[in-house]
Every structure is written in C-alpha cells, then in structure tokens.
Structure 1
C-alpha cells in the first residue's frame, strides 16, 4: 500500500507562526481591506459620488450625472516548493516543516508588499498587479487624476521636511482623506532620516512608538507607520527589491486585497511512489491573492534616495 502523509493542502490557522509572521512583516496583509474571492476574479463597484446643488422653493431637483465604474481583482498564485531528503525527514520532520514555512512566510510578506505597492512597471511578465506606485505615475483622466500628481521625489541631498509635508498634503487635500483611516507605509531605511527631521519648533515629526502587546505604533505627523521591506521600487515583483525606498500615505480602505486562498501548505511524502528514485519529499507552500487600489487620489508616494 502506498504511504500517504499530509496529502491535502493544510490551511494555516490564524494563530499559526506562518500567519503571525506574514502579518508582522507585510503591511498590505495587515492593513488592506480583505475581499473574499470565490473565483479567480472579482469585480468591485466603484461609486463616483453624488453631487449637491441648491434647490429653490418649488424648484426642480437637478439630476446627478456621476459615472460609476468598477475595479477588478484577479487572483495570482505565489508559492515555492522545497525538496527535503528522507534522512532529514526521519530526523526532524516537524522542525524542518515549521522552519521552512516561517522562512517562506518572511519572503512572501516582502514579495506581496512589493507586488502591490512598489513595482514600477505595468502588469505583465513578473508583474501580477497594478501597484500603487505605478498607478500614481499614470494618468487617469476619468478619475480626474494626472500622471504623478501624488508623487513627490526627494532631491539627491535627501528627504526634507517639505518633502514629507508635500506627500501628506497630496492626500489630505482630496475627497478621499479620512484621518482615522490614513496610514503611512514606508521602507525601514527611512527611519534614520526621519529621526533627524524636526519642525520649526524643533519638535520631531517622527515619534517612535512603545513596543509590546499594549504598545503604540511609530507615528509620522501623528499618523501610524507600518514598516515594509517590500517598499522599494523594482521592475518586477520580488522579495529582494533594489530600487529607491518608498514612503506611502494611504487611506487603507482603498487598499483592496483579494483573498482567494492561503497561505497554505502541502507535504508530499517521497515514499508514496511519486519520488521513488530520489528519496526526497516535497514541501509546497502557496497563497492566492488579488489586489487593486480603489482610487489614485486616496494615496501618495514619496520616492526617497
């Protein structure tokens, strides 16, 4: 009889090390509005709003002509397979599986953030989504957004107080600003720069939060900051981006993350006949996600040095 062990996909429970690691490392997984997906694509209606006009006594109401549309989430698969020698499996199966799952979760967290936030190219080979950064560099005339309207680029001398003020103002001055829902997502390399910037009263604009279970987050101009190692520009989605560090100011309600499945894993035992010539087992891990920014005016980006 063939031996079958863990021969089905195992969803990672929400208190598992994998989920904890993903949400600790990924700003998008932690902050975005989750959208359950029961197929590989899902359309989300987008309201264009409703105007208001003065109505005279006994007068006729004018009719709103705003054009509604939608955004589409398309699920993409992120995964990896690991071959493990039978000798190692016999020695410490649980430790190997757990260690590799957490290792994958770390890389996945950086990858999903880079894919959704920081890729500087259009969807295509190696680019699963229209990232926030790329969308902000493109004109969307139907939405009243011009190319790079909400993009601030720091000079070669480094990020300044005015740069930070400009990127904040780009969101604060629009219809999609909600102080209670606005967050900052930034690459950790900004930390050293931000610690040195003060306002004209010599007060720091960046305040380090109190760590721990009952602690508070770091803040920038009183907005909570989530750090992400994936928040660097890159031509394709990767867990090791090499471009300029990015700082985003975003209304988190407009980060829409489609949840199709995962993270989940499967262990295929090499002794079941599938890998009989190699004495190797395979650990596969995957997650399927979709993503879209609800409106370009809900976000702004500072491109660092």
Structure 2
C-alpha cells in the first residue's frame, strides 16, 4: 500500500551557494535592515524625530510633540516547485538539485528587489507589499508628503547631469538624510549613461570602483540590481523603465519570516510513485516596507 511522507523544510545555511547567489544579486537581501518575524505580521516603530530648543537659565524645558507611529510588515511567500523525473535523477551527470536551487536563488533575488523597489501597483494579487516606487507615487498627508515629489522622470534622450543631481538633492535636503547609511540602487543600464556625464569641473560623477572598492555617484555607493525596472506586478525579469533610487539602508525594513528553504518529496512514495516523479520545492517568506517617503528619491531612466 502506498504511503505518504511528510518531509521537513530544510533552511539554507548562511554560507550556502544559494544564499551566496541571493546576496550577490539582491540588494534588498544584502543591505536592508533585517527584522525577525515570528508571525506573518509585525509592527516596527517609526520615529518622527525629536525637536530641540534654546533654554534660558532657570527656564522650563519644552516638551517634544513629534507624533511617533509604526509601519507594518506583512510576510508573503515566494516559491516554486520543480518536477523531476526519476530517470533524470539517475541519468544526469549534472547535479540537478544543486543547479536548480541556485537557479531559484537567482530568480528569487531579482523578484524580491523588483517587489521591494519598482512595482508600480498597490499591494494585491501578484504584488506582495508596497514598493518604494509606489510609496513615492502616493500622497501621504499624515507624513506631509505629496505624490511624486521625490520622483524624477528622465527625458527621451536619457538622464542628464541635472536629473541625477536633482534626484539626490531630494534626500540630501530632508530630515532623514544620513551620509553614513545612504546608497544608490540602480539597474545596470544606467552605467552607459553615467559614463558620459561630468560635472562643471569636467570630473565624471560616476566613479568605477577598483580593487574591491564600490562604484559611486556623487560619492555615494552604488549597488546594482537587475530587479530595478518598473513592472505592474512582481516578476523576476522586469522589462519596464530602469530606476535609480537613493535610499537609507536604515529605512529599508526587510521582514524575515522563514527561508530560503527547500523540501524534497521523493517520487518513490505516495501518489508520486505512480509517475516516478519527485518534487523539489523552494520558498522564502519575506516582508518589506520603507520607513518614510522623505528619506528616498527615484530617477526613472
């Protein structure tokens, strides 16, 4: 009589090839503030800052009236299943499982960045959480932010020096500017336009990193992401307009619910025994939120 087995999900080790592949390709996984989650939701406090004033000798201290609140992380599942015929497992010289797990890691890295940075629609079917682009495209009267205030759209000839300069200035002039945590996240297609742009002194604004140093723009570190293209839903191969985002890593909140992890369901057991096919499932559960729209800006290429 056929029997059903319940295999356990196996988390990837921190230094596994899958994790290394994800961190090489996903900027969000590599640099965002990681928030452990023991359930599907978690509230993260958001500080509205704190004022300061001059006090005369003997004078009373004024009380701060900043309105602190929180942001909500809501974990969503990213996954896929691979069906493998027993003959392929037995005959193939290449390690199918290892290869496919690394391939999944590459796709996961790109779809996570796309979902976190560049999806143009509100959360819903195919949209796991509010992306940075969507956040900056909406008015939030509570936070005093007007829709698209921090978004620059380049002309048909491509981004200019002023486009890059104006975009970064939106963050530099705000209360959430911190040079220690500020980075640029950009799609690699920006490299071509950046190489030809110089400031008034004739110096290039883009500096290619050498000997392990990062690429920079206006002295700000650039991280390259293949997911930084606009799309209507989260996808691993977006085809929309490329983005360059200036962000603070402290404001990038990545909720870690579980994974990446895998489970192998042997085709010799249960109903799978009828077809001699095994299943490899890979998944990760993540949440993302950007702390404040005033702390980021986007250039649409």
Distance 2:54 2:185 in 1: 40
Q: Which residue of 1 aligns with 2:53?
A: 53
What is the alpha-carbon root mean square deviation over aligned residues?
1.7
Q: Which residue of 1 aligns with 2:114?
A: 114
Verify the 8 A CA contact 2:5 2:270 in the aligned structure 1: no
Q: Which residue of 2 aligns with 1:238?
A: 235
Deviations 1:199-225 (A, max 9, x none): 1111111111125xxx11111111111
Report the Cα offset of residue 67 of structure 1: 1.1
Within 5 A, what are the aligned runs for 1:64-83?
64-83=64-83
Q: State yes or no: 1:200 paired with 2:200.
A: yes
Within 5 A, what are the aligned runs for 1:276-295?
276-295=273-292
Report the Cα offset of residue 6 of structure 1: 9.6
Q: Which residue of 2 aligns with 1:249?
A: 246
Verify the 8 A CA contact 2:84 2:278 in the aligned structure 1: yes
Distance 1:219 1:59 in 2: 48
Q: State yes or no: 1:262 paired with 2:256.
A: no
Within 5 A, what are the aligned runs for 1:135-150?
135-150=135-150
Q: Which runs of 5+ in 1 are unaligned?
A: none
Verify the 8 A CA contact 1:18 1:102 in the aligned structure 2: yes
Distance 2:270 2:54 in 1: 76
Describe the SS at the equivalent of 1:244: coil
Report the Cα offset of residue 53 of structure 1: 2.2
Q: Which residue of 2 aligns with 1:184?
A: 184
What is the TM-score of this pair, normalised by structure 1? 0.95
Deviations 1:171-198 (A, max 9, x none): 1111111111110100001011101111
Describe the SS at the equivalent of 1:142: coil
Q: Which residue of 2 aligns with 1:217?
A: 214
Describe the SS at the equivalent of 1:271: coil
Distance 2:286 2:234 in 1: 14
Report the Cα offset of residue 105 of structure 1: 0.6
Q: Which runs of 5+ in 2 are unaligned?
A: none
Deviations 1:124-183 (A, max 9, x none): 111111100110011112112111111111111210000000111011111111111110
Q: Comparing 138-147 with 238-247, which one deviates more in the overlay? A: 138-147
